[in-house]
């Protein structure tokens, strides 16, 4: 299915919560949506027989100067189409509801985004650091991250 059509379906279903479609220089095309409604949108994307996005390929967090963006790359093994869903989160308190219940694959990806980018996923079943030690300070992938001089008294 074309990205245009997916965008159209989404705007019909969730009027006011679907912001923009970006196709230029973006592969796959990305749709920016309201972070408040991400669970509803995700469930719809997965369960609608015409869309059937049953495969979460990737979940990435990106640190832009003005906001954090979480990008969900989706794929449908039934219809073989792809789409990227993006949510913009404020820099001060990046929070978004987890989509773990929709795609279990999100569990570890969200833990990673929490660990490295500091994005809090509400209602996540097991939101712990995954790659860094539990007592690590800060979130390393943020652009303003300063590497510490020592870790537990050991010089880095």
Using rule CB under 8 A, residue 1 touches another protein: no
CA angle (57 as vertex; 29, 129 as ends), nearest 5: 120
Question: Using CB under 8 A, which of the segments 11-19, 36-44, 54-62, 91-99 binds another protein?
Answer: 54-62
- Going 40 to 67 to 75 to 79, the CA torsion angle's sign is positive
Identified binder of another protein from the candidate list 56, 85, 89, 119, rule CB under 8 A: 56
Q: Please, what is the minimum distance in Å from the beta carbon of residue 116 to another protein?
A: 7
The correct pick among 133, 135, 149, 156 for binding another protein (CB under 8 A) is: 133
- Window 67-96: residues binding another protein (CB under 8 A): 71, 73, 77, 80, 82, 84
Near another protein by CB under 8 A: residue from 1, 9, 39, 57? 57
Q: State which of residues 18, 35, 107, 118 lies at the interface with another protein (CB under 8 A).
A: 107
Determine how β-strand 95-97 pairs with β-strand 120-122.
parallel
User: What's the CA gap between 126 and 143, in Å, rounded?
Assistant: 26
Q: Cα dist. 134→39, 65, 107, 130, 131 in Å?
A: 28, 27, 17, 8, 9
132 in contact with another protein (CB under 8 A): yes
CA nearest to 87, candidates 144, 34, 10: 34
Query: 72: helix, coil or strand?
Result: strand
39 binds another protein (CB under 8 A): no
Residue ranges that bind another protein, judged by CB under 8 A: 24-28, 30, 54-58, 60, 62-63, 71, 73, 77, 80, 82, 84, 103-105, 107-108, 112, 116, 129-133, 140-141
């Amino acid at each position: 299915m074309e990205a245009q059509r997916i965008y159209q379906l989404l705007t019909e279903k969730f009027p006011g919560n679907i912001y923009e479609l970006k196709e230029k220089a973006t592969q796959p095309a990305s749709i920016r949506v309201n972070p408040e409604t991400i669970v509803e949108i995700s469930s719809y994307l997965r369960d609608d027989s015409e869309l059937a996005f049953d495969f979460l390929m990737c979940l990435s967090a990106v640190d832009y100067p003005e906001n954090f963006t979480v990008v969900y790359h989706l794929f449908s093994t039934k219809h073989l189409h792809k789409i990227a869903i993006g949510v913009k989160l404020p820099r001060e308190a990046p929070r978004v509801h987890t989509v773990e219940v929709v795609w279990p694959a999100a569990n570890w990806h969200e833990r990673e985004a929490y660990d490295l980018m500091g994005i809090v996923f509400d209602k996540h079943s097991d939101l712990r650091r995954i790659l860094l030690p539990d007592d690590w300070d800060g979130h390393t992938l943020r652009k303003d991250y300063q590497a510490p001089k020592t870790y537990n008294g050991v010089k880095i």
